[in-house]
A = this chain, B = another copy of it.
Amino acid sequence: MIAEQTLTEQYLRVRAHSETICQDLETEDYVVQPIVDVSPPKWHLGHTTWFWETFILLPNAPGYHAFHEDFSYVFNSYYETVGKRVLRADRGNLSRPTVAGVYAYRAYVDEHMNRFLTTADLSPDLYALIELGLNHEQQHQELLITDIKYILGHNPLLPAIKMPILEHQPQLPGSPISIREGIYQIGFSSSAKSFCFDNELGRHKVYLNDTTLAGNLVTNGDYLAFIKSGGYQNFRHWLSDGWAWVNANGIQAPLYWYQVDGEWWNYTFNGLQPVDIAAPVCHVSQYEADAYARWRGTRLPTEFEWEAAAVEAAAVDVAAVAGQLNWGSRWEWTNSAYLPYPGFNTAEGAVGEYNGKFMSAQTVLRGASVATPEGHSRPTYRNFFQPDKRWQYTGIRLVE
């Protein structure tokens, strides 16, 4: 149970971080949507605010009035229970509400939330909903970063901006971690009092075989060898869907890579930079991760192997886990489909739509990335995207 004061502080800190991410944006950067997957930054700022207004303030704060009656329509995402959604593809056509209007919306809601959190007697259910809201906003913080990168990285001027993350850092020398054949517990332990998403619940047993996960992520240097060997031109390495994707889109390198006079550069928040050979490869699809693994004669881990290895590492030395496996810089593609754990139940109501309905045709990623907000990940966390997506900070860890 979180103390009330702490909760308010936590709320304000999380909310402030969303705005810190956008600190160096021009007004225009908040508005555009170059592809359907990418939302305009002002939409993220509005949508997260709408969550607080809709699920906390309107039903629970007496006398609260919505900031603007049409914002519910504009900033709803895919919660079909709350109202007719805006088609995601249309978000980038909306010049209004303005950025200033969105910040005013945030200030208004924050003021009311602050008052509400410091005065209300919160039921356990409401606590849980607020915790969900904080984690929801943190998820959008990572998307804010990746969406801003996409917007600027596809502008012919390739502008640099300040962003409070370190994108490309060489790894420490890691040590492989082995798991032994046997039964493992997978999923979030409900005895832990801390937060998790619904898709992590349903702790259950799985049977795993002997496996060793590499202690380091695949580096840009490793991946360049794949490119130079003609990896993108040889169908043998690729899943059928992956090969079709490579050809339909003319894929020849990770996202944001540009070849200039024979040298590879990549767009970063510092502008166009030479590709750092020592840093972990980033912005690859699962198709690319899988093809790279096949080319190397190995495979991607399953999400279960990944979690068991993480627990194994923690059992040896809790403090050293992140360091040992170099976790946390890239979301790591697994070869597991995103499916329900045994006993998974969709919660009632709009919030219940949270995760279950996406359990089709998506792939699980584990770990965290340089863009993940502090404290937002854990060994049981299940991130998921379609296998062709690569605008997140995605990378590759192999089974040895």
Contacts and interface: CB of A to CB of B under 8 A. Distances in A.
Interface of A: 26-34, 42, 70, 73-74, 78, 80-81, 92-99, 151-152, 154-157, 159, 183, 204-207, 209, 235-236, 238-243, 287, 290, 294, 299, 335-337, 339-340, 342-343, 346, 357-361, 387
Given A29-B95, A31-B32, A95-B151, 14 more contacts: A26-B98, A28-B31, A28-B96, A31-B95, A33-B93, A74-B157, A95-B155, A183-B183, A205-B207, A206-B207, A239-B359, A336-B339, A337-B339, A361-B387
Given A32-B31, A360-B242, A95 B152 contact: yes
A157 B387 contact: no
Contacts of A387: 360-361
Contacts of A34: 93
Contacts of A151: 93, 95
Nearest to A90: B34
Contacts of A290: 360
Nearest to A80: B235
Best-surrounded residue of A30, A97, A360, A387 (most CB of chain B within 10 A)? A360
A241 B336 contact: no
Contact of A157 (B81, B96, B360): B96
A336 B337 CA distance: 8
B32 A95 contact: yes
A205 B182 CA distance: 9
A151 B209 CA distance: 47
Contact of A156 (B73, B155, B159, B342): B73
A81 B34 CA distance: 27
A97 B157 contact: yes
Contact of A96 (B81, B95, B155, B243): B155
Contacts of A241: 360-361
B94 A92 contact: no
Contacts of A357: 238-240, 243
A95 B240 CA distance: 28
A72 to B, nearest CB: 11
Nearest to A28: B95
Contacts of A207: 183, 204-207
A240 B358 contact: yes
A145 to B, nearest CB: 16
